[in-house]
């Protein structure tokens, strides 16, 4: 069995893998119980003789819940000590919570999954099979997105296209955070220093042997979504600005194009004045040119600001998350 130089944690598919399931949760008191029941059954079947898995753990990351989520997790831990948890000091967002989970998971294979059971945990068995075949990342791809509303599907489509067009690190379309990561991949992601944790982008950048398993995504049955359109928009900006500098550079080309047009227009004006004399009309055209250029300048300044803001966040070097408590050991 090989070991990972960074951590001395054994890596690679061996005969007796240990699986960590990490679950970020924010205000999910009603969802914890049903989640634990269903996932525990699936995982127990995997550790049964012939299942090919030595042991498992479920690691909840309580992302600053305001309701009784933590109490529900405590109860689950008392009933089954293989259920552990981290409790963050406030709401840091799902990406940061996932980072916390990756930092504290002990497994040689790690599977992030949402608590709402939209992603069927039964697929984990299939993921383990692919992992044993030698794949280091097995991501789940939604066969259909019928569980999402039409506007959400359309904006998601648009986002994946824009991201993959602008960035050289392609993210697989319709793959969420539900995936299996080998310990090697987890260590690489943990070693990435950035504060902006757009996980799908980090996974894509890391490379490794990747494969997909398809599954049907069901609608959320308990609790409600934590992502409104504004949060999704912010996430999209995070994703693109962390993966691509095209939005920064495009303005030079636009500026060059406009300058060239202006030069042509100037030559045309000189020639026309020389041939036909002066006429002083032209207020509308001046307004149009001024407003257009003003708009373009503000827009490009705004884009610059996005990136400068991100640099500020990075250089501050604050921790990505703060753990208030751990349940069931570090």
Span interacting with ligand UDP, options 5-13, 36-44, 72-80, 86-94, rule CB under 6 A: 86-94
Q: Does 177 bind Mg ion (CB under 5 A)?
A: no
Residue whose token pair is 């130089």: 5
What's the rounded Cα separation, in Å, for the pair 92 and 114? 16
Burial track 28-39 (b if 16+ CB lie within 10 A, e otherwise): bbbbbeebbeeb
Q: Name the strand (E) or helix (H) holding 112.
A: strand 109-112
Positions in 41-70 near ligand UDP (CB under 6 A): 63
Q: Does 116 bind ligand UDP (CB under 6 A)?
A: yes
- Candidates 27, 116, 136, 177; binder of Mg ion (CB under 5 A) is 116
Span interacting with ligand UDP, options 42-50, 110-118, 124-132, 153-161, rule CB under 6 A: 110-118
- Candidates 65, 69, 118, 244; binder of Mg ion (CB under 5 A) is 118
Q: Does 114 bind ligand UDP (CB under 6 A)?
A: yes
Longest CA pairwise span in the chain (Å): 95
Angstrom distances, CA of residue 159 to CA of 208, 299, 312: 24, 20, 25
Q: Does 28 bind ligand UDP (CB under 6 A)?
A: yes
Find the shortest distance in angstroms from Cβ 91 to ligand UDP: 5
What's the rounded Cα separation, in Å, for the pair 314 and 311? 5
Q: How many CA atoms lie less than 13 Å away from 121 in the CB half-sphere?
A: 26
Span interacting with ligand UDP, options 37-45, 223-231, 270-278, 290-298, rule CB under 6 A: 223-231
Where do contacts with Mg ion occur on this chain (CB under 5 A)? 114, 116, 118, 220
Where do contacts with ligand UDP occur on this chain (CB under 6 A)? 24-26, 28, 63, 91, 93-94, 97, 114-116, 118, 220, 225-227
């Amino acid at each position: 069995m090989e070991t990972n130089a960074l951590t001395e944690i054994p890596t690679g598919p061996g005969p007796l893998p240990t699986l960590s399931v990490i679950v970020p949760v924010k205000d999910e008191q009603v969802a914890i119980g049903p989640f634990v029941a269903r996932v525990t059954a699936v995982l127990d079947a995997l550790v049964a003789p012939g299942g090919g898995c030595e042991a498992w753990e479920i690691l909840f990351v309580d992302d600053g819940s305001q309701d009784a989520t933590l109490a529900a997790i405590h109860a689950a831990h008392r009933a089954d000590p293989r259920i552990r948890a981290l409790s963050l000091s406030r709401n840091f967002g799902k990406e940061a919570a996932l980072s916390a989970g990756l930092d504290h998971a002990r497994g040689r294979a790690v599977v992030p999954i949402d608590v709402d059971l939209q992603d069927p945990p039964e697929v984990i068995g299939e993921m383990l099979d692919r992992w044993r075949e030698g794949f280091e990342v097995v991501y789940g791809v939604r066969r259909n997105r019928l569980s999402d509303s039409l506007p959400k599907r359309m904006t998601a489509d648009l986002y994946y296209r824009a991201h993959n067009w602008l960035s050289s690190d392609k993210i697989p379309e319709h793959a969420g955070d539900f995936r299996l990561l080998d310990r090697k991949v987890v260590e690489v992601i943990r070693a990435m220093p950035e504060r902006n944790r757009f996980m799908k982008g980090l996974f894509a950048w890391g490379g490794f042997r990747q494969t997909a398993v398809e599954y049907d995504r069901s609608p959320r049955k308990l609790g409600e979504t934590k992502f409104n359109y504004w949060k999704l928009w912010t996430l999209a900006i995070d994703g693109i600005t962390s993966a691509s500098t095209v939005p920064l550079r495009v303005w030079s080309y636009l500026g060059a194009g406009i300058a060239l047009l202006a030069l042509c227009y100037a030559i045309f004006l000189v020639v026309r004045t020389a041939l036909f004399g002066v006429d002083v009309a032209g207020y509308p055209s001046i307004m149009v040119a001024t407003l257009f250029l003003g708009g373009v300048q503000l827009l490009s300044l705004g884009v610059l600001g996005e990136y400068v803001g991100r640099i500020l966040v990075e250089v501050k070097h604050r921790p990505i998350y703060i753990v208030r408590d751990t349940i069931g050991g570090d």
